[in-house]
Structures are given as structure tokens and as C-alpha cells.
């Protein structure tokens, strides 16, 4: 099936000229045309030609580079608390009661919310990952999945988690004709001792699978790392060899200039969560300084238990706003850079930049359309500025993944919204003693 969208505002996210009036063509799962509206004989080769009449923009789907989808069941369950208290006293006890039922219900709810708000690919770190993989395949979504492993408990438990993580990563890599990729994810340096981290690193190198972990979210966590290991987390991980294979770190809020140098030197990918970091009072990551050193940070929502939604456009806007305010410099993180963080840099963070993240011939057809007809979108001076600073998820219309339409005029075609919302409430209720 070949489809051509004409008279569209195209935001390609390619390095040069990311924004023009033109057309996008797809052939099956792949983009086969990006450019000005083609002559009729080219159009004739397509099975379907859709005229957007310049009322919609086409842009790459958002790439959410970190979250815990099942935790959407805990959206708003505990707000306005410090991270450690929130995590240890509120989240972990109730998550300990999660069964496959809750993981499925929470993940479906998250996938539904993400699809409807224009996210086409997400990273998920949780457990019972076979369930997550099934939900992703059914929904027609793209994801990078990893079994998160907290290194507490008996040696037997630790061993089982490691084996489970490796087995999952190998079994599911490439599933859904490549829609699923995998990583290995020890939870963090504060929940995994050096020996346990090393075992993950060895497996990552042996099986050529990228590594992912939480790092330096709070100043307390950094101080604790210094106390226990005599080093700040970045140097600690570097010395253990964590950055030798391809790796992605979540947060990187409290990193100093020397640490940024190390992260840049090892080409460590960064996943930045402006919303969650603000809400938990964790602080504000030094994104401006990272970019000066050549790092291209990606964006994520983290879970809806700390965010409290999975709206990537909101993260793009926050990334464009907060660093300007903190540095009192309106030229930090331009609108175009922020949108790249939410798309192209996200693809890079998941090591999928050959497949997704921009609208280029040969890449997978993961893209969204946004309506430009709301009062808040007039007049049109600068399209990317309009999307980043003025639009909202209200404007997300259609979503395509691997060439297949999964959302049409805001309605999800692959999931039963009413049933999933109902199940989410039931699954939470079932946790009550």
C-alpha cells in the first residue's frame, strides 16, 4: 500500500531545513518520499493521495526515552512528596502487590495515552516485561523494553532477576518486525552494588545489548554515592565500565562539569525529564552545559506516578522554557532544539536513529499529524514555534507507526479506550487489602 500526503506543512527534523510546505509518501512500512508536492505522474503511482490543504503539519512521532508504563495505575496516588519518601514509603510497597493483572492494565492505559498524544515509541523499564511486550505488539506501537533489576535481596533473587533480564532482552529483540528493541537495565547505582552492576555490563558486552540505568536524580543520591564509594555516580559508573558498551542514563540532574565531560567523552545518551524532576523537587538538569559539550539530550516523561501524564509535547515545551528561565537567557534551548530532543535525539538515545526520529526516505513511517486550525495556532509566523510554544495534545490528529494508522482524528484504532480506562480503575481497586 502506497500513500501520499500532499499540501502538508512538513517538519522533517532533518539537520538542515527542518520545515517546509510539501508532501510525504509511504510505501508499506517505509517513508519513500519527502519533498515538495510532486508532479501528477509521481502521484499516480500511489494507491491513495490525501490532501491536507495546509491545515495540518506532519512531524515524526514523539520518542519517550524513559518510563514505567504500569505505574500509570498510581497516577496521583501520592503527590508533592520528596523522591525517597515517595519511592520507598509510597511506590515500592504498593508496587510490591502488583501482579500480571496490574502490569497489563497499567501498561495498556499508558500505551493508549501515549498513542493519543502523538508518541510512537517509548522506553519501558519494569518487570513482567513479557506482558509489556504483548501489549506493545497488540497496540501496534514501537518500544525499547528492559526488565529493570533492583539489586537488593538474596543472591538467588539477584541471579534470577539478571537471568530474566538477559532472557527477555534476547527473546524479544526485533519482535514485531523490529518494532521492539531491548536493553539491559540495572535499576541504579544506589540499588545495585558494583558487583551486580558489573554482571550486567558483562552481559551487555557479550550479547551486544545497550545498557540503561537511573543516575544522579537527587543531590541526596549523589552524596550517598560519594559516601559509600568515594566517587560521584558518573565516575563510579565509568570506572566500573558501564559506559563502555552503548548506554543511556536516566535523569543526570546533579552532574558537574567534570561529569559532563565524561558523559560526552563516552557518548553516553541522556534522558531528561523536566516535568518529573520539577514535580518531585529533584532539581533542574544542566541541559545547556551538556549541549555546549556536544551532548544531544532526549526527553522522557518518567512514569505517570510522578509526572502525572505521558504528554511528550508538554515535556518538549518544558525543555524549551525552564532552561531559559533558570539561566535568565532566552536563547538557551530553541524551539527547534526542543522539538529535536523530543523526536530525533530520542531516536538516538534508543539507538534507533537509522530507523526513526526524522522524516527521511528509507526510515520507518512513524509520524503524526497535528491540526493547525485552532484559535491558539493563529496567525502562523513560525511553524515550529507554534507547535512547541502554543499547541497542545488537543491538536494531535492522526498517528502512524510502521506505516499503519493507529490513531485517527484523536481516536485510537487499535485499543478499546472505554474498556482500558475501566480496567485501570478495577486493577487499582484490586490492590486494596
**What mask of x and - would describe binding to a copy of itself in positions 203 to 222, judged by CB under 8 A?**
----------------x---
We find the least distance from the C-beta atom of residue 347 to a copy of itself, in angstroms, to be 24
> What is the bridge-based pairing of β-strands 404-408 and 411-412?
antiparallel
Q: Provide the minimum distance between the beta carbon of 249 and a copy of itself in the complex, in angstroms, as a whole number.
A: 19
Q: Which residue lies nearer to a copy of itself by CB, 59 or 73?
A: 73
Confirm or reject binding of residue 281 to a copy of itself (CB under 8 A). Answer: yes
289 binds a copy of itself (CB under 8 A): no
CA distances from 3 to 46, 186, 331 (A): 6, 42, 39
Instruction: State residue 298 phi and psi, 5-degree precision.
Output: -100, 180
90, 296, 327, 404: which one binds a copy of itself (CB under 8 A): 327
- Which region, judged by CB under 8 A, interacts with a copy of itself, from 45-53, 109-117, 123-131, 179-187? 109-117
Q: Is 233 helix (H, G, I), strand (E, B) or coil?
A: helix
First to last CA, the chain: 52
Give the binding range for a copy of itself (CB under 8 A) out of 59-67, 139-147, 228-236, 330-338. 330-338
**Of residues 327 and 404, the one with the C-beta less far from a copy of itself:** 327
Sequence-separated (6 or more) residues with CB below 8 Å from residue 391: 313, 370, 374, 376, 377
Of 61-69, 147-155, 229-237, 371-379, which part binds a copy of itself (CB under 8 A)? 371-379
Among 241, 246, 283, 288, binds a copy of itself (CB under 8 A): 283
Please say which residue, 217 or 348, places its beta carbon nearer to a copy of itself.
Answer: 217
Residue bearing cell 518538549: 316
Residues 44-103 binding a copy of itself (CB under 8 A) are 72-77, 79-83, 86
Strand 119-126 versus strand 269-272 pairing type: unpaired
Task: Measure the CA–CA gap between 112 and 415, rounded to whole angstroms.
Answer: 7
330 binds a copy of itself (CB under 8 A): yes
* Closer Cβ to a copy of itself, 43 or 278, answer by number: 278
Identify the residue among 1, 45, 223, 390 touching a copy of itself (CB under 8 A): 390
Check: CB of residue 322 under 8 Å from CB of residue 291.
no
What single-letter DSSP state applies at residue 86?
Answer: I
CB 68 within 8 A of CB 302: yes
Largest CA distance in the chain: 69
Site string for a copy of itself, 391-410 (x = CB under 8 A): -xxx----------------
Report the alpha-carbon distance of residue 379 to residue 209 in Å, rounded.
47
Q: Is 21 in the site for a copy of itself (CB under 8 A)?
A: no
Q: Does 343 bind a copy of itself (CB under 8 A)?
A: no
Q: How far is CA 103 from CA 79, 114, 128, 138, in A?
A: 21, 16, 7, 15
Amino acid at each position: 500500500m502506497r500513500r501520499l500526503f500532499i499540501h502538508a506543512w512538513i517538519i522533517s527534523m532533518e539537520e538542515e531545513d527542518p520545515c517546509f510546505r510539501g508532501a510525504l509518501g509511504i510505501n508499506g512500512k517505509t517513508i519513500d518520499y519527502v519533498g515538495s508536492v510532486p508532479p501528477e505522474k509521481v502521484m499516480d503511482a500511489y494507491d491513495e493521495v490525501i490532501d491536507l490543504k495546509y491545515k495540518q503539519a506532519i512531524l515524526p512521532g514523539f520518542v519517550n526515552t524513559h518510563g514505567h508504563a504500569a505505574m500509570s495505575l498510581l497516577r496521583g496516588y501520592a503527590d508533592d512528596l520528596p523522591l525517597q519518601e515517595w519511592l520507598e514509603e509510597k511506590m515500592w510497597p504498593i508496587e510490591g502487590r502488583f501482579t500480571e493483572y496490574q502490569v497489563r492494565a497499567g501498561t495498556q492505559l499508558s500505551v493508549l495515552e501515549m498513542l493519543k498524544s502523538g508518541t510512537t515509541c517509548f522506553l519501558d523499564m519494569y518487570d513482567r516485561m513479557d506482558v509489556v511486550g504483548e501489549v506493545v505488539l497488540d497496540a501496534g506501537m514501537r518500544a525499547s523494553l528492559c526488565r529493570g533489576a533492583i539489586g537488593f535481596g538474596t543472591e538467588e533473587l539477584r541471579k534470577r532477576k539478571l537471568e530474566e533480564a538477559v532472557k527477555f532482552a534476547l527473546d524479544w529483540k526485533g519482535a514485531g518486525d523490529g518494532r521492539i528493541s531491548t536493553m539491559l537495565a540495572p535499576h541504579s547505582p544506589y540499588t545495585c552494588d558494583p558487583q551486580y552492576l558489573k554482571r550486567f555490563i558483562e552481559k551487555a558486552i557479550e550479547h551486544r545489548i545497550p545498557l540503561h540505568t537511573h543516575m544522579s536524580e537527587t543531590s541526596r543520591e549523589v552524596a550517598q554515592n560519594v559516601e559509600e564509594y568515594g566517587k560521584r555516580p558518573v565516575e563510579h559508573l565509568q570506572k566500573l565500565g558501564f559506559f563502555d558498551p552503548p548506554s543511556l542514563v536516566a535523569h543526570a540532574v546533579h552532574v558537574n562539569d567534570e561529569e559532563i565531560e565524561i558523559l560526552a567523552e563516552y557518548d553516553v545518551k541522556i534522558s531528561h525529564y523536566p516535568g518529573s524532576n520539577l514535580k518531585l523537587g529533584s532539581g533542574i538538569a544542566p541541559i545547556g552545559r551538556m549541549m555546549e559539550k556536544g551532548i544531544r539530550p532526549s526527553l522522557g516523561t518518567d512514569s505517570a506516578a510522578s509526572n502525572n501524564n505521558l504528554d511528550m509535547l508538554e515535556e518538549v515545551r518544558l525543555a524549551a522554557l525552564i532552561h531559559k528561565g533558570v539561566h535568565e537567557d532566552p536563547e538557551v534551548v530553541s524551539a527547534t532544539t526542543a522539538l529535536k530532543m523530543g523526536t530525533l535525539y530520542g531516536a538516538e538515545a534508543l539507538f534507533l536513529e537509522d530507523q526513526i526520529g526524522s522524516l527521511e526516505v528509507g526510515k520507518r513511517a512513524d509520524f503524526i499529524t497535528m491540526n493547525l486550525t485552532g484559535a491558539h495556532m493563529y496567525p502562523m509566523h513560525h511553524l515550529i514555534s507554534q507547535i512547541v510554544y502554543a499547541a497542545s495534545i488537543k491538536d494531535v490528529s492522526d498517528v502512524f507507526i510502521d506505516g499503519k494508522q493507529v490513531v485517527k482524528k484523536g481516536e485510537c484504532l487499535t485499543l478499546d479506550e472505554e474498556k482500558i480506562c475501566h480496567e485501570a480503575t478495577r486493577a487499582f481497586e484490586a490492590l486494596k487489602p
